[in-house]
Amino acid sequence: MRRVLTVAAILAVLLVCVILGRNVLTGDDAPTPRSGHASAPAPRSATWIKSFVVDSVTGEPVDGSRLITVRLFDASEGGRLVWGPEEHPDTPISDGWLSIALASKVAPVGLGNPPYYLELALDGEIRSPRVEVAELPSSFRDPAAQVSTPGGSAVHTHVARSAQREPGLPGETYAEISPSGAWCWFADPRAVYHEGRYRRTYVGWVNASGDIVVAQYDHDTGEVTAAEVRDELQRDDHASPAILIRPDGRLVVFYSGHRGAWMFYRVSEHPEHVTSWGGQQIACDYTTDPLGYTYPNPVLLSGEGKRTYLFWRGRDYRPMFATSEDGVVWSEPVALIGGGERPYVKTCSDGEEVIHFAFTNGHPRDEPSNSIHYMCYRRGGLFKADGSRIGDMRTLPVAPSRSDLVYDAAASGARAWVWDLALDSDDNPVIVYAVFPEETDHRYRYARWNGSVWEDHEIVVAGSWFPGAERGQEHFESHYSGGLALDHAAPSVVYLSRSVGGVFEIERWSTPDGGCTWESEAITSGSSRDNVRPCVPRGLPAGLSCVLWMHGDYVDYTDYHTSIKIKVGSTAIH
């Protein structure tokens, strides 16, 4: 049935964002602007609206870019103008739908008491009736408060509350963890939930200036506090950090440049806080190898006396690792996987005595038969999913041919790339990955060990490569997908990014039968910019859902203008 509406339908109401001033401490603890960076004004309070508009003559949904003007009154008709006019030129409208943020560009005058009534005009033509708004942001000021922190970290705090109340609204309407941030999917955990004195999710990224940043999101207050743990390391999403939570609640953040000469880490000075950090330490010594260090993946095993394993990609593109008994002194690096050309690895662990690995034998760009493999480490040995022994830590590196072959690219005729690995309620591994029958045909798949065999099913066709670049562009990667991630607390749930109407959107897919059938719901839709590389925090408790993703414009891994978005809610998994 044709949708014919004569008025705008305003859906979502309120988003409040309070930003504290961002400072960098010098040696005398005086707050000073960072060299070479202008101080940007803090965002003002905002109200998000989503609206459906039609042509007043034809009744057809509007498409294209139009001037949207909004005003706020104290009555449904007539009354006093208390806010506006606020103009939004060149607002994109797709099939009638638009989404804008009312950023308090015009200071209000004595708002008085609610209710308020919002009036919308399209290219100067007022639409009616006005729509009632129950409440507005309580403050239109730009609060600026200096935040002190030792160790040279820059800290800023804000409250992240989203206008999102129903699934499928544009990505830009969701709460923002950071206005600038990106990550690659091979450094993990990028986000970790920890419940101690607080209920918080900790997340790390590299911003557009190449700074390494770690933030805490408080699930009770909505407050976000972020701190730079390293200035201007490298503008490259391969430099994104990984986070480990120690038993005492302190955070350890590991990071290196893309092919960096060092592997660094820092430890928070206080449990469950990112606001102050100890000095920069070295997990792996300086290397002259041009491939250096990339993709840190820390794992702590409580069953081995709290030994920490740190995995990364290193010499000859080989997956490497080192161990530490005390988090200070590290062993010499050892190659974990060999025999392939350029293996890519995902890890997960039970945190006690087992570490699981899903990996490829190479890069899909270089390996026409790039397959998916699996093995696990337990008590000094290496095993297949059925318990068959592959070897031990004295027989490293392991050739991919000795491990489980989860997906056979040669037999299937399509190369693959691994995206995530998690454990089900029986501690059996679950793997999600992408396959490429053609470079323009990306498909997401779901493989799980059912206790006897590997079951493997397609989830959905994901579209073409990300970003939508032309061949011949520098850093072109035809096997970059929008991405997908497992909910590690409930790996029957997958969050994925696929192209919908030319824009990459985030969706939640769930399976009740091990991947045979799927149900889906849109997290974002109608977005003005891409939403990609979803990430689910490790360690979420039952009943809590949380997904983060990159939103914005992405050219390649050194040229990105993306923010970090978050959606938090409750869930019931059957």
What average pLDDT does range 170-181 have in this prediction? 95
Q: Pick the residue with more confidence: 128 or 418?
A: 418
Structure tokens at 126: 């007022």
Burial (Cβ within 10 Å: 0-12, 13-18, ≥19) of residue 76: middle
Q: Could you please report the per-residue DSSP string of 270-293?
A: STT--S-B---EEEE-----TT-B
- Can you tell me the mean pLDDT for 185-206? 98
Residues 6+ apart with CB under 8 A from 27: none
Spell out the residues 6+ positions from residue 318 whose beta carbon is closer than 8 angstroms to its own.
335, 336, 337, 338, 343, 397
**pLDDT beyond 90 at 63:** no
24-133 and 332-574 share one CATH topology?
A: no
pLDDT attached to residue 118: 82
pLDDT tens by residue, 388-439: 999 998 899 999 999 999 999 999 999 999 999 999 999 999 999 999 999 9
Strands (E) across 147-291 are located at: 155-159, 175-178, 191-195, 199-206, 212-218, 223-230, 242-245, 251-255, 263-267, 281-284
Are 256 and 333 a contacting pair, CB within 8 Å?
no
Q: What is the pLDDT of residue 112?
A: 56
Does residue 89 have a cis bond before it (omega within 30 degrees)? no
Lowest mean pLDDT among 346-355, 387-396, 449-458, 474-483: 474-483
Using one digit for the tens of pLDDT, what is the confidence trace for 266-287? 999 999 999 999 999 999 887 8
Burial class (CB in 10 A: 0-12, 13-18, 19+), 304: middle
Residue-wise pLDDT for 551-570, tens only, equals: 999 999 999 999 999 999 86
Helices (H) and strands (E) in the chain, counts: 1, 39
- Which residues share a beta bridge with 494? 486, 509
- Give the integer Cα–Cα distance in Å for 151 and 274: 12
Contacts of 60 (CB under 8 A, 6+ apart): 54
For residue 13, name the pLDDT band (cuts at 50, 70, 90): very low
pLDDT at residue 159 in the model: 65
Q: If pLDDT is split at 50, 70 and 90, which confidence band does 27 have?
A: very low
Among the ranges given (11-20, 174-183, 521-530), the one the predictor scored with the smallest mean pLDDT: 11-20
Q: What is the pLDDT of residues 400-409, one digit of tens each?
A: 999 999 999 9
Sign of CA dihedral 534, 420, 348, 336: negative
CA distance 20 to 42: 8
**Closest-CA residue to 264 (of 238, 230, 290):** 230
CB 188 within 8 A of CB 347: yes
Task: Report the percent of the chain where pLDDT is more than 70.
Answer: 80
Average pLDDT over residues 466-470: 70
Distance of CA 447 to the CA centre of its chain: 22
State the pLDDT confidence band at 78, using cuts at 50, 70 and 90: confident
Quick check: 506 and 549 in contact, CB under 8 A?
A: yes
Query: How many Cα neighbours within 13 Å face the side chain of 7?
Result: 9
Average pLDDT over residues 313-329: 94
Segment 298-311 shows an average pLDDT of 96
Summarize the confidence of residues 298-303 as an average pLDDT: 97
Q: CA dist 1 to 4, 327, 565, Å?
A: 9, 64, 35
Cα atoms in the 13 Å half-sphere on the side-chain side of 529: 16
Q: Decide if 369 contacts 340 (C-beta within 8 A).
A: no
DSSP 3-state assignment of 250? Answer: coil
Q: Where are the alpha helices (DSSP H) in 370-418?
A: 409-412
> At residue 195, what are phi and psi to the nearest 5 degrees?
-120, 115
Task: Tell whether the model's pLDDT for residue 182 goes beyond 70.
Answer: yes
- For residues 346 and 355, the answer to whether their CB atoms sit within 8 Å is no
What 3-state DSSP class applies to 394? coil
CA 40 to chain centre: 24
Measured CA to CA, the distance from residue 454 to residue 146 in angstroms comes to 55
pLDDT confidence bin for 133, thresholds 50/70/90 = low
**Residue spans per domain, the chain:** 24-133, 332-574
At 6, is the pLDDT very low, low, confident or very high (cuts 50, 70, 90)?
A: very low
3-state secondary structure 472-535: CCCCCCCCCCCCEEECCCCCCEEEEEEEECCEEEEEEEECCCCCCCCEEEECECCCCCEEEEEE
Q: What is the DSSP letter of 328?
A: S
Average pLDDT value for residue range 64-70: 88
If one counts every other C-beta atom within 10 angstroms of the C-beta of residue 477, the result is 16
Greater confidence (103 vs 518) lies with 518
- CATH number given to 24-133: 2.60.40
Residue 158: pLDDT band (50, 70, 90) is: low
Lowest-confidence segment of 165-174, 362-371, 491-500 by average pLDDT: 165-174
User: What is the model's pLDDT at position 76?
Assistant: 83
Which tokens hold the place of 95?
């099939």
Which residues, in sequence order, are CB contacts of 187 under 8 Å at separation 6+? Answer: 238, 240, 241, 242, 294, 295, 296, 297
In whole angstroms, what is the distance from residue 292 CA to residue 263 CA? 9
Residue 372's Cβ-side half-sphere holds a number of Cα atoms within 13 Å equal to 27
Q: What is the CATH number of domain 332-574?
A: 2.115.10
pLDDT at residue 142, as a whole number? 29
Round the average pLDDT of the chain to a whole number and report it.
83
pLDDT of res. 162? 54
For the segment 341-354, the average pLDDT, to the nearest whole number, is: 95
**pLDDT higher than threshold 60 for residue 144:** no
Residue 302 confidence (pLDDT) above 80: yes
Report whether pLDDT(355) > 70.
yes
**Residue 239 structure tokens:** 């430099």
444-467 pLDDT, tens per residue?
999 999 999 999 999 999 999 998
Higher pLDDT, 192 or 94: 192
What is the pLDDT confidence band of residue 385, given thresholds at 50, 70 and 90?
very high
Confidence bin at 80 (pLDDT 50/70/90): confident
Q: 486 with 494: CB under 8 angstroms?
A: yes
Share of the chain above pLDDT 90, in %: 63
Whether 392 and 386 have beta carbons less than 8 Å apart is answered as: no
pTM attached to this predicted model:
0.74
pLDDT at res. 574: 32
In the prediction, which pLDDT does 468 show? 66
CB atoms < 10 A from the CB of 28, how many? 6
